[in-house]
Amino acid sequence: MEYRSRRIANRYELSAPLDGGGMGVVWEGYDTVLDRPVAVKRIRAEKARTPGQRAELAQRFKREARVTARIEHPGVPAVYDAAIDRDPADENALDELYLVMQLVRGRSLGDILAEHGEPLPLAWAVSIAAQICSVLSFAHAVPVVHRDLKPGNVMIDDTGHVKVLDFGVAAVLGTDVTQITDTGQMVGTRDYMSPEQFHGVGVSPRSDLYALGCLLHEMLSGGKVFDGTSDPALQHVHEEPVPLRVLNPGVPPELEDLVLDLLAKAPEDRPASAEEVHRRLSPYLPGPGQAAEPVAPAVTGVPNPTRPYRRPLAPRQQPVRPAASALPGPEPSTPPEQPPAVAMAELKEAEEHAFALIDEERFSQAVGVLEEVIAASPVGPDHPRMLEIRETHAAALVLGRDYRRGLVAFQALIASWSRIDGPESERAVEYRQQAAVCLAALGETEDALAEYRALLSLAEQRGRTPGGGSVGELRRRIGDLLLAAHRIREAAHVFRALLAELTADHGPEHPEAREIRDLLTRIEFTGGT
């Protein structure tokens, strides 16, 4: 297909290819409406062979683009549009997916490492890693996990500022859509993938921190963390990295310790957040006004990544989330005996408007409408009408991937229903399950695991889960979380028991039974059992 003279979405002209990779090809383009240069990435969708698969991929693409666009940080190229286009010259052509972004010029870290061939200066490596931490801190707060952090996705622009590319692209082709990805295929680049990614489950913010550890090790040693003499899956899952000071004695001991912590096999053994990593890098960053460190001739001509620290970049300040038990629910209030009819009518009208916005997948707007309703309600928060509205508000937050605020909203609902009907009431337990989903999405693996186990115990007593779900669904969640926590033997035990139950109830060819068998095969391949 000829792109040079083609306009997509009746707006963007593609002029010249900039880069290509496993997930798409990036073109330099031009926005004919706003008269500006743009970068246009075509998302590879060849694995989506049927119309149903492609429709599902298009929905995922739009959803991930919306979430990625919420990352407000100068280190992330702005997302302008998620364009879906079809070649007008081919009536049988399928829709093509394009991400339209801010055009960034500079050098990729991959090119710099390949050309330099030896460790980067300490201040350079730390400055690049610290800028990546700043980006990750904002992304993880959305939350968005990159999933494919590697040198090729890190660019240093002409001013020395680091840009992290391709947020959300890996998620578009995520492994949870098994009909789109090949069986057992993992999303990511094998030299930088965390152990949990090789197992195909449990990607969290700490998976990005593992990849950052691979990058920092490579920048300070001059070579990849593992040499590729055996399968990368086996190396990342089982082998310990060579300590940095063995390869580069000039690395400070504390920095070596940080890299080893980032490369821990179990996610919970890694630093808790990008903010913590940035704090541990801070002693090695240049201070404002400090002279630039001399660099080897081989690095000259590359923008100096220490320059931004003359005007320091800081990571996002991490909010303190109180424990679930400490979170107060809304104080019960006595509603008016007869709320004004006009006010209640307006309440209903606003709620219907929010539902319409949710149907159109305009989740952030729906959240805004519902929050205005909650703030201006003529009745108290535990009034039956308000409980319904608060439930819709919490659901809209989760649908829009705002898991952090969704968690708080569901925990407040748990507190309300615990007061009204008791902590083991149907609604309270149902919202506990939703809160557990949020905890897992936020990478709070141990907290999510504890909650799911408590829910499983309760469901086994009742023989079902809230909403009519199966006990097996909770067991599957627990197995996935154990795998994410690198508790592989425990996870395999859970999956084997679940497989036996599914086979007995539905036969060996049941889709979930096949999926769990494939998962156990991956675990056995990487030596987990």
- Is the sign of the CA dihedral 245, 251, 255, 259 positive or negative? negative
Q: Is the pLDDT of residue 162 over 90?
A: yes
Structure tokens at 445: 């693996």
| Catalytic pick among 85, 148, 166, 447 | 148
pLDDT mean over 108-122:
90
- How far apart are the C-alpha atoms of 83 and 33, rounded to whole Å? 14
Residue 54, SS3 per DSSP:
helix
Closest CA to 269 of 523, 520, 487, 492: 487
Residue ranges, CATH 1.10.510.10, the chain = 106-288+305-310
Cis peptide before 303, with omega less than 30 degrees from 0? Answer: no
User: What pLDDT, in 10s, does the model give residues 266-287?
Assistant: 888 999 999 999 999 999 998 7
Residue 328, SS3 per DSSP:
coil
Residue ranges, CATH 3.30.200.20, the chain = 7-101
Q: Which residue did the predictor score with more confidence, 529 or 10? A: 10
Residue 401, SS3 per DSSP:
coil
pLDDT at 374: 87
Which class in CATH covers the domain with range 106-288+305-310?
mainly alpha
Choose the most confident range, by mean pLDDT, from 67-81, 129-143, 329-343, 359-373: 129-143
Closest CA to 210 of 292, 277, 160: 277
User: What pLDDT, in 10s, does the model give residues 445-454?
Assistant: 889 999 999 9
User: What pLDDT, in 10s, does the model give residues 205-235?
Assistant: 899 999 999 999 999 999 999 877 777 778 8
pLDDT mean over 327-341:
51
| The Cα angle at residue 135 between residues 204 and 298, in degrees rounded to 5 | 115
pLDDT mean over 406-411:
94
Residue identified by tokens 């990614």 is 197
Q: Is the pLDDT of residue 48 over 70?
A: no
Question: Torsions phi, psi of 333, nearest 5?
Answer: -130, 155
pLDDT at 467: 54
Q: Which residue did the predictor score with more confidence, 527 or 510? A: 510
For residues 106 and 30, the answer to whether their CB atoms sit within 8 Å is: no
- Is the sign of the CA dihedral 124, 266, 441, 419 positive or negative? negative
Q: Domain 324-525 in CATH: superfamily?
A: Tetratricopeptide repeat domain (1.25.40.10)
Q: Is the pLDDT of residue 41 over 80?
A: yes
Closest CA to 150 of 197, 88, 93: 197
pLDDT at 182: 34
Is the CATH code 3.30.200.20 the one for domain 7-101? yes
- Is 148 among the residues known to form the active site? yes
| 293, HSE (Cβ side, Cα atoms, 13 Å) | 19
pLDDT at 117: 82
Structure tokens at 183: 């069986």
pLDDT at 200: 73
| pTM listed for this prediction | 0.73
pLDDT at 1: 40
High-pLDDT (> 70) share of the chain, %? 79
Residue ranges, CATH 1.25.40.10, the chain = 324-525
- How far apart are the C-alpha atoms of 204 and 129, rounded to whole Å? 19
pLDDT at 154: 95
